[in-house]
């Protein structure tokens, strides 16, 4: 039986985090084993969905001083701070690689089981009727089919990038509200009690192993070649201002004015 | 234009291609996304297609489409130059759903003579691939 690589990475800057995920997606296209990666952020960081307009960040004054990075995955902007972040990378032909919604449901379904085990009544969101509007700027103010909600509050969501049959799924579980996005309550705010994130993560990993159908391969750090490839992606893409602005499509960098009306 | 899905060819990454003879022995390829893939994507929200004149390479991305937070790359079946882009699509993504082999076409490519070409599947083979994916 094939194994699934399990990585736990220390907090890092947004450009590095995104570059490692893209490097792993590239390797998955070449047939590398599935990989589940948990990581953190060395500072509160706003990530934009792949197609989002950079200028729309002016809609969110609380995160104005945060660094910004553009994800490879779709959806809305996420303020990464007090959260659990994961990426799941699957090669072509994996049973979940072909089916977008099944992968969302599989990962979120396991999370919901764990949250209920911890006494939190989480469930899958039925989503909202799609229309032509771009929707709220922040991902956690949107509701898509399969998001994880507790009552009216979305506490986890995911997004995907699909290339040549391989898939990268990014996801965030909000733990506590961030000062840079105070309007978004986290799990502890909703539960009104402390939640041990490491315990939750461990339970989630156990359940995911059953669903993904392969044993974990632990403690395998990135090899030199992987680090070099990720460093290359940092330089040529994620740390590049024009990537965050417009995916590097030739527009001139401009200073984005923020609305100071709320004094923040 | 309304193509019969049984008369055109497909890539394993779900693009369809219809080849026509052009002037001077050239060939023009019309490219779109198969009905199977569109049904799997659902709720398209954004697409980006190449600009006119861009050179495409077989098996390399020529565009991107987003649906329900999933961004998927679109792959060119042939090597050549983009000579026409369906200008209606960006504003009317529903055309890809309602008429994938007609008004939902994406680009036309002047095929480079002797250029590279992805492995193309006939309708029956492509259909089998889709059925296996659903299992």
Residue B42 pLDDT exceeds 90: no
Non-local CB neighbours of B24 within 8 Å, separated by 6+ positions: none
Q: What's the DSSP call for residue A236? A: I
- The alpha carbon dihedral of A41, A156, A61, A249 has a sign of positive
- Domain extent listing, chain B: 13-130
Which among B13, B71, B133 is the nearest to A50, CB-wise?
Answer: B71
A161·B75 Cβ contact <8 A: no
Tens digit of pLDDT per residue, chain A (264 long)? 579 999 999 999 999 999 999 999 999 999 999 999 999 999 999 999 999 999 999 999 999 999 999 999 999 999 999 999 999 999 998 989 988 899 999 999 999 999 999 999 999 998 875 555 678 999 999 998 899 999 999 999 999 999 999 999 999 999 999 999 999 999 999 999 999 999 999 999 999 999 998 899 997 899 999 999 999 999 999 998 899 998 887 544 444 444 443 333
**In chain B, which residue's Cα lies nearest the Cα of A133?**
B45
Which among A51, A158, A165 is the nearest to B66, CB-wise?
Answer: A51
Model ipTM value: 0.89
* Residue the block writes with tokens 């019309």: B30
> Which pLDDT belongs to residue A133?
67
* Residue the block writes with tokens 């911890």: A118
* Helix (H), strand (E) at residue A89: strand A83-90
- Domain extent listing, chain A: 4-246
Q: How far is A161 from chain B (nearest CA, A)?
A: 5
Q: Is CATH 3.30.465.10 the right assignment for the domain spanning A4-246?
A: no
Domain B13-130, second-level architecture: Beta Barrel (2.40)
> Which pLDDT belongs to residue A261?
36
Active site residue A139: yes
Non-local CB neighbours of A263 within 8 Å, separated by 6+ positions: none
Flag whether residue A63 sits within 8 Å of chain B, measured between CB atoms.
no
Alpha-carbon radius of gyration of chain A: 18
Angle at A259 between CA A254 and CA A264, to 5 degrees: 120
User: Which residues of chain B make contact with A248, given a CB cutoff of 8 A?
Assistant: none
Q: How far is B72 from chain A (nearest CA, A)?
A: 5
A164·B72 Cβ contact <8 A: no
User: Which residues of chain A make contact with B64, given a CB cutoff of 8 A?
Assistant: 50-51
Mutation target to probe the A interface, by most A beta carbons within 10 A, among B69, B131, B134 is: B69
Largest CA distance in chain B: 46
> Which pLDDT belongs to residue A228?
97
Residue among B8, B10, B13, B16 at smallest CA distance from B73:
B13
Burial of A199 (0-12, 13-18, 19+ CB in 10 A): exposed
CA distance A161 to A175: 24
CA distance A103 to A88: 10
pLDDT in tens, A185-207: 999 999 999 999 999 999 999 99
pLDDT in tens, A206-246: 999 999 988 999 978 999 999 999 999 999 999 988 999 98
């Amino acid at each position: 039986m094939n194994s699934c690589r399990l990585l736990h990475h220390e907090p890092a800057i947004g450009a590095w985090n995104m570059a490692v995920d893209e490097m792993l997606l590239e390797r998955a296209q070449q047939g590398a084993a599935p990989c589940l990666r948990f990581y953190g952020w060395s500072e509160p960081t706003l990530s934009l969905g792949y197609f989002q307009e950079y200028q729309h960040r002016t809609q969110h004054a609380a995160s104005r001083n945060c660094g910004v990075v553009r994800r490879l995955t779709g959806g809305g902007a996420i303020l990464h701070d007090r959260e659990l972040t994961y990426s799941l990378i699957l090669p072509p032909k994996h049973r979940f690689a072909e089916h977008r919604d099944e992968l969302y449901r599989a990962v979120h379904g396991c999370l919901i089981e764990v949250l209920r085990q911890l006494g939190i009544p989480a469930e899958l969101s039925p989503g909202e009727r799609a229309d032509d509007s771009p929707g709220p700027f922040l991902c956690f103010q949107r509701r898509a089919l399969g998001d994880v909600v507790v009552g009216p509050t979305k506490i986890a969501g995911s997004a995907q990038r699909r290339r040549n049959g391989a898939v990268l799924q990014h996801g965030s579980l909000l733990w506590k509200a961030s000062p840079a996005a105070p309007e978004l309550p986290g799990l502890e705010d909703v539960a009104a009690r402390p939640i041990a994130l490491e315990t939750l993560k461990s339970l989630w990993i156990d359940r995911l192993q059953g669903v993904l159908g392969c044993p974990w391969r632990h403690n395998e750090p990135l090899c030199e070649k992987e680090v070099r490839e990720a460093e290359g992606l940092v330089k040529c893409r994620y740390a590049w201002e024009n990537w965050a602005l417009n995916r590097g499509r030739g527009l001139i960098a401009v200073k984005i004015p923020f609305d100071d009306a709320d004094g923040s | 234009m309304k193509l019969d899905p049984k008369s055109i060819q497909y890539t394993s990454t779900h693009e369809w291609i219809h080849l026509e003879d052009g002037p001077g022995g050239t060939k023009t390829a019309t490219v779109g996304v198969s009905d199977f893939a569109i049904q799997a994507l659902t709720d398209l929200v954004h697409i980006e297609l190449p600009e006119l004149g861009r050179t495409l390479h077989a098996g390399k991305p020529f565009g991107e489409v987003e649906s329900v937070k999933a961004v998927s790359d679109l792959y060119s079946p042939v090597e050549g130059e983009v000579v026409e882009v369906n200008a209606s699509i960006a504003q009317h993504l529903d055309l890809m759903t309602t008429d994938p082999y007609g008004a939902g076409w994406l680009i036309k490519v002047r095929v480079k003579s002797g250029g590279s070409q992805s492995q193309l599947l006939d309708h029956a083979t492509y259909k089998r691939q889709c059925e296996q994916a659903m299992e």
